[in-house]
Structures are given as structure tokens and as C-alpha cells.
């Protein structure tokens, strides 16, 4: 139980940076779309489709919830918002659970 409390505090402290780093990565990808090939209208349409898809995932929209923390960590890794290395500071129990579902 104590590990889960520490994990929750760690999760809360890391989530904002993870989301900010993910948003920075997305912006770089969006810039490639906007400066890529195709007409302006095609590039805008491609960007809109990409942004809509990104907002359907949890990387940009996740609000921390203690009861959902493990599931959210799993989804963050699955959606490439974070890597397994980012989960390395969590308790062994949490780390093993995430590894099991990835």
C-alpha cells in the first residue's frame, strides 16, 4: 500500500512533463506535415486528421486519477507517450504490472 502511495506521488510529479514532452514531439511532426508535399489544402487536411487522432488518445488529454494510474501508465507506454525507461523509478510491483501488459 505504501508503494502505491509513493507511485501515485511520483506519477503526479511526472505526468505534466511527460505530456509537455509529448506535445513538443507532436509539434515537430505537425511542422513536417505543414512543410511537406502537397497543396496547402491537402497539408491542412492532413494536419487536421493527425491532430484529431492525437486528441483521441490519452497523451494530451489525460487527467490523473489515482484509481486509474496503472492503466494509464500502460496506455501511455502503448501510445508511445512515454517509454518503459520512464517507468523505471516506480515500485517493482508497478513496473512488473506495466511490463506484463505491454
Helical H runs in 35-68? 40-56
Mean of the per-residue pLDDT values of the chain: 95
Asked if residues 9 and 68 have their Cβ atoms less than 8 Å apart, the reply is no
Average pLDDT (14-40) is 97
Q: What confidence tier does 2 reach under pLDDT thresholds 50, 70, 90?
A: confident
Q: Is the pLDDT of residue 3 over 90?
A: no
CA distances from 85 to 4, 15, 82 (A): 19, 14, 8
Domain borders along the chain are 2-101
What pLDDT digit, counting tens, does each position of 41-86 carry? 999 999 999 999 999 999 999 999 999 999 999 999 999 999 999 9
Amino acid at each position: 500500500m505504501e508503494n502505491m502511495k509513493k507511485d501515485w506521488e511520483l506519477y503526479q510529479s511526472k505526468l505534466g512533463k511527460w505530456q509537455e514532452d509529448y506535445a513538443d514531439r507532436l509539434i515537430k511532426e505537425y511542422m513536417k506535415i505543414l512543410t511537406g508535399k502537397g497543396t496547402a489544402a491537402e497539408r491542412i487536411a492532413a494536419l487536421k486528421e493527425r491532430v484529431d487522432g492525437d486528441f483521441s488518445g490519452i497523451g494530451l488529454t489525460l487527467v490523473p486519477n489515482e484509481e486509474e494510474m496503472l492503466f494509464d501508465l500502460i496506455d501511455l507506454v502503448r501510445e508511445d507517450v512515454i517509454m518503459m525507461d520512464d517507468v523505471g523509478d516506480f515500485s517493482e510491483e508497478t513496473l512488473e504490472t506495466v511490463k506484463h501488459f505491454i
